Amino acid sequence: MKKILILMLLFALFSCKEESKQTKVIVNKVKLTKDDFKLPNYEELTLLNEPLPDPKPGDWLSEHDENGQSFDQYFKNKNLVSPSKKINIIYIQPIGTFTDWEKKIIDWNTTYIQLFFGLKTVQLDPITEESIPNDKQRIHNGNEQLHAGYIIHSLLPKKKPKDGIVIMALTAKDLYPDPKWNFVFGLASYEKQTGVSSIFRYSDEKLNKENYHICLRRIIKTSTHEISHMFSVLHCIEAICLMNGVNNLKEGDSRPNALCSVCLSKLSWNLNFNDLERMDNLIDFMNEHHLEEDAAILSKQRAIIAK
Ligand SMILES: [Zn+2]
Ligand SMILES: [Zn+2]
């Protein structure tokens, strides 16, 4: 079967093949032409890009041939997904129950997504696992698991309001894509602009004030990586970047919550970022949540753009 959904091993959601099939949401908004668009001090900003290390066995690029995506290719994408006046809200759909700390992480993640994309982001009321049929849930190795395919293909399309450009479900339960699989970190449909991710495997111990930032750092990374795909950004091979494909938690942890100059240009152009205000907001968020390494990268970028 020709795939319209892609198993996501951590962040690896989409491939180039799916790009041409994605739903055309809107392309007729007035934008600067590509030649008119350049981030301020772009050449200097590009000097901050750090080259990707040679992939180790098991890393994403050791198993996947990727072509990357230049700004020009992004600009010329006839099926580019852009917000319009009527379709411009990112919806977050929590599923199931959450502990107090998990709930805080889901709420902060929603806040972060809004700051990152500069689009109104609305968290819908949680729905219970009862919205998922019994035969789309299971207990596996002692873990309750939800069927991710059912969520993105059957559940979320019904939940997405008309003004929603993207809907993403988040759960604290483990996910599985297929009875033959042990688990999946998340799953998404390019066609339906739906995705689901779980924080189940994002913390090694019970969440508390001292360790919650590890889980938060992972889920904001997954969420913004996935939603960037939904805005037609493909995997990045330009530099160390939020949009690199990654195969496992360790590789994912080695990537920043920051876009390289090429990927930042794509989203800044497509979503009309106010770059400095956006970076200030993100840096404040990161400093508030002990994500100093990520904040330091953004601060360097900001300083160059502000010159
Ligand atoms: Zn990906
Ligand atoms: Zn990039």
pLDDT per position as a tens digit, 54-82: 999 999 999 999 999 999 999 999 999 99
Instruction: Give distance in angstroms: CA of 55 to centre of ligand 2.
Output: 16
Instruction: Give distance in angstroms: CA of 233 to centre of ligand 2.
Output: 9
Mean pLDDT of all residues in 262-274: 96
What integer pLDDT is reported at residue 2 of this predicted model? 37
How far is the C-alpha of 295 from the C-alpha of 273, rounded, in Å?
18
Using the predicted structure, report yes or no on whether residue 293 has a pLDDT greater than 50.
yes
Question: What pLDDT digit, counting tens, does each position of 127-151 carry?
Answer: 999 999 999 999 999 999 999 999 9
- Residue 18's pLDDT band (boundaries 50, 70, 90)? very low
Mean pLDDT of all residues in 112-123: 98
Task: Looking at the CA of 228, name the nearest ligand.
Answer: 1
Instruction: Give distance in angstroms: CA of 73 to centre of ligand 2.
Output: 13
Instruction: Give distance in angstroms: CA of 281 to centre of ligand 1.
Output: 24
What integer pLDDT is reported at residue 232 of this predicted model? 92
What integer pLDDT is reported at residue 8 of this predicted model? 45
What integer pLDDT is reported at residue 7 of this predicted model? 44
Global pTM value: 0.88
What integer pLDDT is reported at residue 11 of this predicted model? 39
3-class DSSP state of 66: coil
- Residue 27's pLDDT band (boundaries 50, 70, 90)? very low
Ion ligand 2, residue ranges at CB < 5 A: 236, 238, 241, 243, 260, 263
Instruction: Give distance in angstroms: CA of 259 to centre of ligand 2.
Output: 5
Cα–Cα–Cα angle for 181, 186, 191, nearest 5°?
Answer: 105
* Contact of 225 with 166, CB cutoff 8 Å: no
**CATH number of the domain that residue 96 is part of:** 3.40.390.10
Q: Higher pLDDT residue, 184 or 212?
A: 212
Task: Looking at the CA of 266, name the nearest ligand.
Answer: 2
Q: Domain limits at 97? A: 5-306
**Residue 139: partners with Cβ closer than 8 Å, 6 or more residues away:** 145
- Residue 191's pLDDT band (boundaries 50, 70, 90)? confident
Instruction: Give distance in angstroms: CA of 307 to centre of ligand 1.
Output: 32
Question: What pLDDT digit, counting tens, does each position of 82-106 carry?
Answer: 999 999 999 999 999 999 999 999 9
Task: Looking at the CA of 49, name the nearest ligand.
Answer: 2
- Residue 31's pLDDT band (boundaries 50, 70, 90)? low
Instruction: Give distance in angstroms: CA of 292 to centre of ligand 2.
Output: 20
What integer pLDDT is reported at residue 16 of this predicted model? 31
Question: What pLDDT digit, counting tens, does each position of 211-227 carry?
Answer: 999 999 999 999 999 99
What integer pLDDT is reported at residue 118 of this predicted model? 97
Task: Looking at the CA of 188, name the nearest ligand.
Answer: 1
Instruction: Give distance in angstroms: CA of 182 to centre of ligand 2.
Output: 31
How far is the C-alpha of 166 from the C-alpha of 190, rounded, in Å?
10
How many domains is the chain built from?
1
Instruction: Give distance in angstroms: CA of 69 to centre of ligand 2.
Output: 9
